[in-house]
Amino acid sequence: MLELFQKGGPIMWPLLMTSIAATTVVFERLFFIVRQKTRRAPELVDKILAAVEEGDTEKAISIGFRSKDFVARTLVYGLANREKSFSNALLRAASQELKRFNQGLQILDTIITLAPLLGLLGTVTGMIRSFSLLGGREIEAPAVITGGIAEALIATAFGLAIAIVALIPFNYLNARLEEARHELEDASSHIELLLMQPMNKRL
């Protein structure tokens, strides 16, 4: 592996940096997703909605006040700021939570695009090196020429490999982001409908 890296030429160092960055982001994001799943408390969200349905918003706030569930936190923030604008408070809280889910995705997206381009740059520089030797008097050294071609192919392969490997967790993390968005929208719509019922105490 080290030998291949050395044959890949100078462009391999930027490719190595992108692979390290991608690996760091992927592991950090996966840890974040696992942590959020362990903090989920759907039964607590149901209790908050039940309290709102009974017209007791203060009880609903107290139920989810210290919760680490991102849905419960969003609902509690909306209820706590209901006197100003309940809908806007829900929207702001949901945006903050989704921002946490979205962190790092831009980096992965950039790496998925950048890595193949860096590999292509390695291809171009490797081929330039090979053809420049063909134009000189070093045609007696075919090993040097083939080395340039090998550099081109290795850089391209590494760039594509990084992009392919990073694409899988990128899609998974995007799916988790959309799942969180759906859960927040569903809970927000539910609580707004409950607050609109005439039997509830008016805010």
Domain regions of the chain by residue span: 18-196
Q: What is the mean pLDDT of residues 26-36?
A: 96
Answer whether 33's CB lies under 8 Å from 176's CB.
Answer: yes
Q: Is 132's pLDDT higher than 80?
A: no
Cα separation, 42 vs 58, in Å, equals 19
Q: Is 201's pLDDT higher than 50?
A: no
Q: What is the mean pLDDT of residues 51-56?
A: 90
- The three-point CA angle 105-110-114 to 5° equals 150
3-state SS, residue 40? coil
Answer whether 69's CB lies under 8 Å from 61's CB.
Answer: no
Q: Is 94's pLDDT higher than 90?
A: yes
End-to-end CA distance of the chain: 66
Number of other CB atoms surrounding residue 36 within 10 Å: 17
For residue 167, give every residue at least 6 positions away whose Cβ sits within 8 Å of its Cβ, in sequence order, or none. Answer: 112
Q: What is the mean pLDDT of residues 143-162?
A: 76
What are the tens digits of pLDDT across the range 98-126?
999 999 999 999 999 999 999 988 888 87
pLDDT of residue 10: 77
- Lookup: tokens for 91: 């929207």
- Per-residue pLDDT band at 67 (split at 50, 70, 90): very high
Q: Is 4's pLDDT higher than 80?
A: no
* DSSP, residue by residue, 41-62: -HHHHHHHHHHHHTT-HHHHHH
Q: Which of 37-41, 101-105, 131-135 has the lowest mean pLDDT?
A: 131-135
- Return mean pLDDT, the chain: 86
